[in-house]
Structure formats: C-alpha cells, structure tokens
Chains A and B, each alone.
Chain A
C-alpha cells in the first residue's frame, strides 16, 4: 500500500468485511497486528475471541468473562498480510477461507452445521 494508505488503516481496514478468493464472506477485521518501527501491518486478526478487546475498558472484564479467553487458532485467528489480495469496496483474500480457518461457523463439515436438517 502507498503512504497515504497507511494513515487510512483505522478508517478503511479495521472492521472491514473479509471475502475469500471465492467471494465467500468469512468474517470481519476485528483487530490489526502491527510490528517493527515504523510499524507495519503484519496480520489481520479475526474472531469472536477478540471482541472483548473492542469494547470500552470498563466493560472489558465482563466481556472477557462472557466470551472466554482468546484461544489462538480457535476463536482468534491470524491472517498474514501476504494473504490479502486487494482492498476495493471490501477486503479480498487470495486464498480460500478454510486454509486460514475462517468462516468455520458456516462450514458444512463442522458437526453442528452438518446436523442441520437441510444438510
């Protein structure tokens, strides 16, 4: 991304809808991982385990108790920045959601989804 793009991180990247390479909706950007100095985006963080980070400080303890701890690879996922294909009206990945564990709640292979009467 260009320099101007970097200052738009919060404005354009955080909370953005994520689509995989096949156009499937597979989560939103719940947080952003920055490393180095000057900081560069190294990954997008996705998952309901990250929601407590996003509520005001005073409510964070309560939210953490409701949502449970962040479990990496389960309710908190890391999408390496290299997997981002392009950002236009939404954010497109260059791989399928399953490769990163995204969109598992809609995955027909999951036991709960498999048991639905129409599957």
Chain B
C-alpha cells in the first residue's frame, strides 16, 4: 500500500513538472490560431518525452549515470563539449523565460513593478532551494502545479464539439509556414530537454536503483500521459474561446482567461496559481539542469543531496545561472519572445543529447537485461528521426514566420 502511495505521489510530481512556460505560450497560441488542429502534435511530443524520459530514468537507475555523464562517455570530450555549450545556452534562455513568466504571473496576482518581481522571484527561488531538500522542492511545485487541472475542468465545462476535438488528433500537415512553425513549437514545448536532464539527475539525487524501474515506467507512462492531457486542455480551451474571436494571445494573462470565463474569479486564481507553481518549478528544474550538465561533464561533485558544503562548485554555478537569467529578463526582452527562442533552439540542440542516451540505453554491456527491448528501440529511433527533421526545420521556420508573427 505504502509503495502504491509513493508511486502515486511520484506520478503527481512528474505530472506537475511537465508543463512550463513553453507549453503555456505555444499551446494557447496554437489553439487560438488553428483551433484543435494541432492536438496531434501535442500528443506526439508527449509520447516523445515519455519515451526519452523512460530511457534516461532507466539508464540512471541501472548504471547511476545521468544524461551528461553518459554524453561525455559516449561522445568524448570535443563533441560532448559542443552538446554541453548548446544545452547550456538553451537552458539559460529557458531559465530566463521561466523567471520572466513567473514575474509576469506575480505581477498579475499582486500588481507592482515588473522588474521588482523578477528580482523577488529569483530571491524566492534561492530561498526555497536553500530551505528544502530535493524531494520537498519537487513535491511542493508538483502538487501545487496540479491547480492547472482547472483547465481540464474548463474544457469540459465549455463542452466543445468533441468530435471536432477528436479530429484534431489525426495528424495533418499544411503548406502554411505558420502552421508548420507551430507544429515544431508545440512538439518542442512538450519535449524540452531540460525536463529529461533534470529527471535523470533527480533519479540519482533520490538514490534510484534497479528496484525503481517500475516507478520509472509508471512515471513515464501515467505521469506524462496525464501531463499530456493538461497540455491538450490548454489548446482546447484556447481554441474554443479565442479562435472564433480571432484573438491572438500575446501575453500570459490571456492564458488564464478561459478559466475565468468558466469559473469566475476562483477559476482565474486557480489558473494563475497553477501557472505560478508550474513555471516556478520549471525555473528551478531548468536552472538545476544547467548546473547538473556542467558538473557532470567536468566531473565535479554535484547534487542538492550533497549540499553546498560538499558540492560548492555545483551550487555556485547554479547561483550564477540564475543571476545571468535574471539579467537577461531585466534587459527588457519580452519573456514570451525569450520563450519562443528557448523552445525553438531546444529542438535544434535536442539530437545531440538524445542520441547518446538512445545508444547507451540499447547497450547490453552497460544495461544488461534492462537494455532497450524491441518496442523501446523502434520508438527510440523513430523519434530520433523525427527530432532530426524538426531540428533542421526549426530555425528556417522561425525566420520565415518572423517568430510566429506571420
């Protein structure tokens, strides 16, 4: 019974950690522009992160090795360094986007100067990380992020034409560059690499071993599936409300409006609260991910479980990443714009970190009987091909559509 409860709590934490500012921005815009047409891309991205996370979690549980440990081993120093630099740039942009998003949400909740909230949000995150152990951080943001369920309730409350919603899950392509840009965007927003890097390092932080493999499978299968439902709900509520009106949501406040339409002020507060914890949690995950990657590549001591006394370089680099992200947001670039760049460049960098994991997860000399089976191998390579295609298409589409601006 206890283990079922533990697994259920783990799943909830995984679910809460799934959504971030990338999903909020891209999925809401995708709904407003194309109604339910892009739901298939959300589902495809969700299955992709489940496949990738399951492999990373399994490698971490069996060998004790998180992602960048494996990357240095498999790619060697030079190519590994390229993967590290690319991932770090993307991570830094992501931390900036999440921090800026957090400040916008705080501003909507407690009206005051934006830049003040950027600084307060950064200080708040440092305090939370300093006071709480790793599991506590993961759980607080995971559980409170569940307020996002209000978007699922809103979708049901709106009672859209479910046949039309179901039709959105049938993949379709169009020659519209804007449509293709959003295919890449919602797919990439679901498959942000920092989530997986964080997940695999978290497995080491929590001392996973082979007995955790069941928990890992369930997290990937159920946690990410439920996360995918939330991500789809964002598209549906926006498609229902904004598409007929021709509204293009350009800021984060608009994301929460459908919940207000359905449940009044309570709905709005739940939506903003859920968004705050999702984005705040993602700010911690992405900034941790940046210093995990650096420390693992260079062989430093790392981890929240080691504490700042044993892992000072890891802790200092985390503070520096957070500080640099704060400077980026304070420079005045719109956080929604930073989000778009972070998501698009994330998919460009993704193949470099995905391939080594796919290789080691299939390597029997490392993984023994837990190496990829037929299904994981097939899915893994299909997704690798897909990611490579999207990585190549991402930047041209970004430029041709002027960052989704049409």
Q: Which residues of A contact B (CB under 8 A)?
A: 14-18, 24-28, 30, 46, 48, 51, 54-56, 89-90, 103, 105-106, 108, 113, 116, 118-119
* B312 x A119 contact (CB < 8 A): yes
The reply to whether B312 and A56 contact each other, CB–CB distance below 8 Å, is no
A113→B300 CA distance, assembly (Å)? 14
Kindly provide the distance from the CB of B168 to the nearest chain A CB, expressed in whole angstroms: 45
B310 touches A106 (CB 8 A): yes
B316: nearest chain-A partner, CB-CB: A116
User: Could you tell me if A54 and B299 are in contact, using CB atoms closer than 8 angstroms?
Assistant: no
* A105 close to B313 (CB less than 8 A): yes
Contact A15:B76 (CB < 8 A) given known A28-B299, A105-B300? yes
Given A51-B77, A54-B77, A89-B63, decide whether A18 and B310 contact each other with a Cβ distance below 8 A: no
> Separation in Å of the A59 CB from the closest CB of chain B?
8
Query: Which bracket fits the contact residues of B?
Result: 20 to 34
Question: Which of A25, A113, A116 contacts B299 (CB under 8 A)?
Answer: A25
Instruction: Please determine whether A113 and B312 come into contact, CB atoms closer than 8 angstroms.
Output: yes
B78 touches A16 (CB 8 A): no
Does B309 interact with chain A (Cβ within 8 Å)? yes
- Chain B, range 334-365, C-beta contacts under 8 Å to A: none
Q: Tell which of B64-72, B151-159, B261-269 binds the partner.
A: B64-72
Q: Are A15 and B301 in contact (CB under 8 A)?
A: no
Check: B298 CB closer than 8 A to any chain A CB.
yes
Q: Shortest distance in angstroms between A119's beta carbon and chain B's nearest beta carbon?
A: 6
Q: Is the C-beta of B137 less than 8 angstroms from some C-beta in chain A?
A: no
Instruction: Take A54-B77, A55-B81, A116-B316 as given contacts and tell me if A27 and B299 are in contact as well, using a CB distance cutoff of 8 Å.
Output: yes
Asked whether B379 is an interface residue with its Cβ less than 8 Å from the other chain, the reply is no
CB distance from B155 to the nearest CB of A (A): 45
Nearest CB to that of B299 among chain A residues?
A28
From B72, B302, B309, B315, A15 is in contact (CB under 8 Å) with: B72
Chain B, residues 285-319, CB within 8 Å of chain A (1/0): the string is 00000000000101111100000111111011000
Question: Cα distance A18–B298 when bound, in Å?
Answer: 11
Q: Are A25 and B302 in contact (CB under 8 A)?
A: yes
- 26 interchain pairs, CB-CB under 8 A: A15-B72, A15-B73, A15-B80, A17-B69, A24-B301, A24-B310, A25-B299, A26-B299, A27-B298, A27-B299, A48-B298, A54-B76, A54-B77, A54-B78, A89-B64, A105-B300, A105-B313, A106-B312, A106-B313, A108-B309, A108-B312, A113-B312, A116-B312, A118-B308, A118-B309, A119-B312
Residues of B within 8 A of A25 (CB): 299-302
Ranked nearest first, the 10 interchain pairs of A and B with the lowest CB-CB distance are A28-B299, A54-B77, A27-B299, A25-B301, A106-B301, A118-B308, A89-B63, A113-B312, A15-B72, A105-B313
Say how far B287's CB is from chain A's closest CB, in angstroms: 18
Residues on B with C-beta less than 8 A from A26 are: 299, 301
Least CB distance from A83 to B in Å reads: 16
Scan B322-343; emit 1 where CB is below 8 A from any A CB, else 0: 0000000000000000000000
Closest to A105 in B: B313
Neighbour of A14 across the interface among B64, B76, B315, B316, CB < 8 A: B76
Give every chain B residue within 8 A of A119 (Cβ-Cβ). 309, 312
- 0/1 per residue, B47-81, Cβ < 8 Å to A? 00000000000000001110001001100111011
Most buried by A among B81, B299, B315, B316: B299
Residues of A within 8 A of B308 (CB): 116, 118
State whether B309 touches A17 (Cβ < 8 A): no
> CA–CA, A54 to B81, complex, Å?
10
| Cα-based distance from A48 to B312 in the complex (angstroms) | 17
B72 to chain A: closest residue by CB: A15
